[in-house]
């Protein structure tokens, strides 16, 4: 049973570029959440997708957008990259419901130069 898989694992972009990160949830999970984790900090909630809709959003600008596909996989898009967007981007999947435990992927390390 594959866990949460993310791609790519590492990538380097320059300021102003756009990036797309991908996530496949754990088998049987229908909810995907995205987090940004700066070095030495805890993860910060970006948004959550369920039934192909953004269910809730954290305090991130509109440059951050996402999508969920019918197979529950998800993408995170970031436009007009800034140096401050450099971080580990974590995807977590769960079964919908308040008590659903989160299973995290290994993350995508984004470096913006």
Partner 1 sequence: KNQVEQSPQSLIILEGKNCTLQCNYTVSPFSNLRWYKQDTGRGPVSLTIMTFSENTKSNGRYTATLDADTKQSSLHITASQLSDSASYICVVRGSGAGSYQLTFGKGTKLSVIP
Distance (Å, whole) CA 24 – CA 111: 22
* Residue from 8, 83, 101, 113 binding partner 1 (CB under 8 A): 101
Q: Which of residues 34-53 bind partner 1 (CB under 8 A)?
A: 35, 40-45, 48
User: What is the total count of residues that contact partner 1 (CB under 8 A)?
Assistant: 25
24 part of the interface to partner 1, by CB under 8 A: no
Cα 18 versus chain centre, distance = 15
60 part of the interface to partner 1, by CB under 8 A: no
Distance (Å, whole) CA 80 – CA 94: 30
Which of 79, 103 has the CB closer to partner 1? 103
Residues 67 and 76 sit within 8 Å (Cβ to Cβ): no
Strand order in the sheet with 64-68: 5-7, 19-24, 74-78, 64-68
Q: Which residues bind partner 1 (CB under 8 A)?
A: 4, 35, 40-45, 48, 55-56, 58, 88, 90, 92, 98-99, 101-107, 109
């Amino acid at each position: 049973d594959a866990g949460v898989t993310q791609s790519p694992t590492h990538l380097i972009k320059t300021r102003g570029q756009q990036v797309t990160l991908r996530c496949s949830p754990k088998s049987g999970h229908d909810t995907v959440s995205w987090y940004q984790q700066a070095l030495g900090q805890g993860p910060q909630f970006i948004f959550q997708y369920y039934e192909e809709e953004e269910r809730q959003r954290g305090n991130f600008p509109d440059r951050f957008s996402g999508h969920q596909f019918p197979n529950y996989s998800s993408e995170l898009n970031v436009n007009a990259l800034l140096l401050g967007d450099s971080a580990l981007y974590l995807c977590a999947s769960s079964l919908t419901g308040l008590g659903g435990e989160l299973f995290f992927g290994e993350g995508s390390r984004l470096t913006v130069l």
